[in-house]
Amino acid sequence: MSIQTRPARAHLLPALTIVAVVAAAIAVRFLFIDEVNSDYRVFLSPWYDALAAGGGVRAIGQEIGNYNPPYLYLLAAVTYLPVPKIVAIKLVSIVFDVVLAAFAGLIVRRRFGVWTSVLAFAVVLFAPTVLINSGYWGQCDSIYAAFCLGSLYFLLRGRDWWACVFFGLALAFKLQAIFFLPALLIVLVVNRRRLLALVAIPATFVAMLLPAALAGRSWRSLLTVYPNQVTTGDGGGAGGRGGGASTAGLGSLTRNAPTMFQWVGGSSGILVLGLVFGALLVIGIGVLAWRARPLTEPQIVLTVTTIVLAVPFVLPQMHERYFYLADVMTIVAAFHIRRFWPVAAAVTTSSLLAYAPFLWGSTPVPLPLVAFLELLAVLATLVALAHVLTTPESRWIRRPAFVATGGPGPVSPSTARPAAHPPSRA
């Protein structure tokens, strides 16, 4: 075999594997592509019909649904496809499942090489909640989550402006992206990065509203989508239900979400207490991160994971799908932190059990017990973060396949050489 053939095959085999994984993932999703639920019947299907009747893209200036316009742009685009309506609607989310998994793979590839990144790509693409959210439920959480992982990827590369642009894109699609913002701010401040790049967030957000504004929708309408979601408790859920009915007996402080509000009743004081807990968590993590500065890649990944998991757990009025980003980030973190896979499994299991009451009309495990499982995952993640931030050379951090050859910033395969002592296979 010639020297030139070896690099070609080294790139070809992973590429063919990725193609096979994508084909298999799409095939699995098409097994239940025709499944419908009340979100589809009452909201997504009528939105599609309204856009199609209005001429597709020409209808984006109308006030349709309660989602921010960028999702409606995509929904308008697929009205032109010669496929059944339910396939077109779910196809938007399925495409972003692949984008989401790709960014997860790119993040992992920075430290662990090509084949480990292919494994990460496959694990995310076949993660149960990722499969169900798009192919079965028809929800579009993969879109904002993909852009959040894109933001993290560029943050790790030191591309602060692109990190903020991608977060602006995430926020333009779903308000739930806001859970990622504290982590972004912490990394920018602690690692003394370009804070001026933050202006890209509102700039990108407004730019994503421009097509609807140019099509005739008022700026008042465009800028009140998220405030209306907050005041009505929608939080970006389809049509005001947001992905699940409220848990019986607990008011609107939890919408099937496995949070601490599964155990406490509703009152204004409890609601404020949840907000205070969330703020204290972010401040505490920020202080730990500041003391550990500058943050390394594993520390950044685990910081993001902790925030997107722990903060929703203590906040009121969460829906079951609000842990979607945590489902994915715990998988990414498990590639960086040893013995973290049980945490990732617990988070995904909690989300699945929380989906059941709405999707399948059953509660296989009482939701207060599901919340307890989520609590264990939150506590384990907080402990891991505290240890990793206070012990930079901790054995909990998996050794990379590459080491930096010089200069500040994270490890990058493009500017790296093989480690002098290859990591153990253990």
Higher pLDDT, 5 or 424: 5
pLDDT at 386: 97
21 within 8 A of 118, measured Cβ to Cβ:
yes
Q: How confident is the model at residue 404 (pLDDT cuts 50, 70, 90)?
A: very low
pLDDT at 179: 98
Q: How confident is the model at residue 88 (pLDDT cuts 50, 70, 90)?
A: very high
pLDDT at 234: 62
pLDDT at 424: 33
Strands 402-404 vs 254-255: parallel, antiparallel or unpaired = unpaired
Query: Does residue 262 sit within a domain?
Result: yes
Tell me the pLDDT of the chain averaged across its residues. Answer: 89
82-93 average pLDDT score: 98
Helix (H, G, I), strand (E, B) or coil at 392: coil
| CA separation for the pair 226, 240 (Å, rounded) | 12
Q: How confident is the model at residue 352 (pLDDT cuts 50, 70, 90)?
A: very high
pLDDT at 416: 42
Spatial CB neighbours of 304, under 8 Å, sequence gap ≥ 6: 152, 180, 183, 329
Specify which residues 402 forms β-bridges with.
418
212-234 average pLDDT score: 90
* 318-338-345 Cα angle (round to 5): 40
pLDDT at 247: 41
Query: Does residue 423 sit within a domain?
Result: no
* 322-156-190 Cα angle (round to 5): 85
DSSP 8-state secondary structure symbol assigned to residue 247: P
Q: Domain limits at 360?
A: 18-34+41-56+69-418
User: Residues of the chain with pLDDT > 90: what percent?
Assistant: 80
195-224 average pLDDT score: 97
pLDDT in tens, 183-197: 999 999 999 999 999
Q: Does residue 378 register a pLDDT over 60?
A: yes
pLDDT at 149: 98
Query: Does residue 3 sit within a domain?
Result: no
What domain count does the chain have? 1
25-29 average pLDDT score: 98
Strands 318-319 vs 254-255: parallel, antiparallel or unpaired = parallel
Q: Does residue 414 register a pLDDT over 70?
A: no
Q: Does residue 266 register a pLDDT over 90?
A: no
User: Residues of the chain with pLDDT > 70: what percent?
Assistant: 86
Q: How confident is the model at residue 425 (pLDDT cuts 50, 70, 90)?
A: very low
Higher pLDDT, 270 or 387: 387
Q: How confident is the model at residue 417 (pLDDT cuts 50, 70, 90)?
A: very low
Q: Does residue 219 register a pLDDT over 80?
A: yes
350-379 average pLDDT score: 96
Statement: the pTM of the whole predicted model exceeds 0.85: yes
Q: Does residue 66 register a pLDDT over 50?
A: yes
- Among 367, 347, 349, 348, smallest CA distance to 247 is for 367
Range of weakest confidence among 22-26, 120-124, 206-210, 399-403: 399-403
Range of weakest confidence among 102-106, 171-175, 254-258, 356-360: 254-258
Query: Does residue 286 sit within a domain?
Result: yes
Q: Does residue 178 register a pLDDT over 50?
A: yes
Query: Does residue 146 sit within a domain?
Result: yes
Number of neighbouring beta carbons within 10 Å of residue 383: 12
pLDDT at 235: 55
In this structure, is the dihedral angle defined by the CA atoms of residues 37, 41, 42 and 45, taken in order, positive or negative? positive
Query: Does residue 7 sit within a domain?
Result: no
Query: Does residue 191 sit within a domain?
Result: yes
39-60 average pLDDT score: 96
Query: Does residue 115 sit within a domain?
Result: yes
263-277 average pLDDT score: 79
Q: Does residue 245 register a pLDDT over 50?
A: no
